[in-house]
Amino acid sequence: MKNVAGDLPETTKNRFRPARGMAAGIAVCALTAALSGCVLSASSVFAADKKKSRDVFAMDTYMTLTAYGDHADEAIDGAVEEIHRLDALLTTGSGTSEVGQINEAQQNSYLLSEDTASLMESSLLLYEATDGAFDLTVYPLMKLWGFTDGNFRVPSQEEIDAALGVVGADAIEYDASSGRVTFDKNGMEIDFGGIAKGYTSDRLMELFRENGVESAIVSLGGNVQALGKKPDGSPWKVGIQTPEEDGRYLGIVEIEDQAVITSGGYERFFEEDGRTYHHILDPETGYPAESGLLSVTIVSPDGTLADGLSTSLFVMGEEKAVDFWKAHGEAFGFEFVLLTDEGRLLASDGLRDALTSDYAKIEWVEG
Ligand code: ADP
Ligand code: MG
């Protein structure tokens, strides 16, 4: 909890960085940085542009929403409502949420709503494409490790083996035409935590557009997505936070109509007997993924995909992640930035014009 307001979200990863020389912007930044999205607004420069910002706590994290233009006010109101609606739908802790009901329905089929159907489709697609690195059925393992209620502990191998018995999205029967889902195995449970924030920011971009907003940026616990360009016509600059969360950046990426989403083992973790255990699990072993990566950032126009892939590539590790990008980067439309535990910084070729780093020399990976 080291930043300004002393109450920083643990999932804060990406921050906006001031454009050079914008002293007024920097002051704004210092005040709002604690809420993880410091929009350096050009608003001080282009006073004619109406700007509306709002901080929200939802989905267990701090969020900052900013929209520009004449419709910014209504758009932000709508966005806040939408966040709370999705939060209530997707929260795992409650039997009344839709996800809670799906998990209670177990082997009885459950009819998904539009949002959960879309999340289910994305999750199953990711499961297939990533060879199971992304698996929405890891929830029983998340519970076992205490990540769901904060009662952290290292489970016994027997417990892990038992939980692994009900992990594996191939045991989900989902009929896309009817929207019905059924679990094949008793005791299975799902959780959209690996893509929920990306899905939410996608929805917010849609909502902004529908409201006539052309320029907006949101940070949902450090997961950033932007609509259009900054009001002054320049690209948004998003700083990718270091695992040390020391205020430095791994790099600065310039974006337009894109999401920048980071997964790292430093966000949510506990320590026991001198070892660190984090919240991104390897569905194969049932243990926190130890793939040699400290963080994975995905840049893509598709927030849901970016969120799912940041989790997935973190599980895969450098070699598989790079291969995955080579095989699917173009079709899926995404670029990556990886930080290895040796301090190497790798980035995919498509970011050459968008990414700079003072942190380390970038190793460019070509397709
Ligand atoms: P964060 O939500 O902290 O930004 P991620 O997007 O990487 O980070 O999502 C981590 C969340 O995804 C976990 O809290 C858990 O709910 C879920 N999860 C953990 N491991 C996996 C996995 N291998 N596949 C899919 N979801 C996972
Ligand atoms: Mg994710």
* Residue-wise pLDDT tens digits, 211-244: 999 999 999 998 999 999 999 999 999 999 998 8
Domain 22-34+43-365: CATH superfamily is ApbE-like domains (3.10.520.10)
The pick from 134, 141, 280 for probing ligand 1's pocket by mutation, whose C-beta has the most ligand atoms within 8 angstroms, reads: 280
pLDDT at 266: 81
Report the C-alpha gap between 124 and 117 in whole angstroms: 10
* Unique residue bearing structure tokens 């191998």: 157
Distance 112 CA to ligand 1 centre (A): 21
pLDDT at 34: 33
Residues of the chain scoring pLDDT < 70: 1-48
* Unique residue bearing structure tokens 């994290």: 61
Distance 189 CA to ligand 1 centre (A): 14
Report the C-alpha gap between 80 and 83 in whole angstroms: 5
pLDDT at 198: 98
- Where residue 341 falls (left for φ over 0; alpha for ψ -120 to 50; beta otherwise) is alpha
| 189 Cβ closer than 6 Å to some ligand 1 atom | no
| 279 Cβ closer than 6 Å to some ligand 1 atom | yes
| 141 Cβ closer than 6 Å to some ligand 1 atom | no
Taking CA atoms only, the protein residue closest to ligand 1 atom 8 is 263
Name the residue among 179, 192, 189, 162 with its Cα closest to residue 107: 189
Q: Own/partner pairs for 329-332, CB < 8 Å, 24+ apart?
A: 329/367, 330/367, 332/129, 332/300, 332/302, 332/305
pTM score above 0.75 = yes
pLDDT at 219: 97
Distance 277 CA to ligand 1 centre (A): 13
**Shortest-distance ligand to the CA of residue 314:** 1
pLDDT at 107: 87
pLDDT at 95: 77
pLDDT at 117: 98
Report the C-alpha gap between 245 and 239 in whole angstroms: 12
Taking CA atoms only, the protein residue closest to ligand 1 atom 15 is 193
pLDDT at 314: 98
| 228 Cβ closer than 6 Å to some ligand 1 atom | no
Distance 240 CA to ligand 2 centre (A): 15
| 37 Cβ closer than 6 Å to some ligand 1 atom | no
* Unique residue bearing structure tokens 């006073």: 47
Distance 265 CA to ligand 1 centre (A): 10
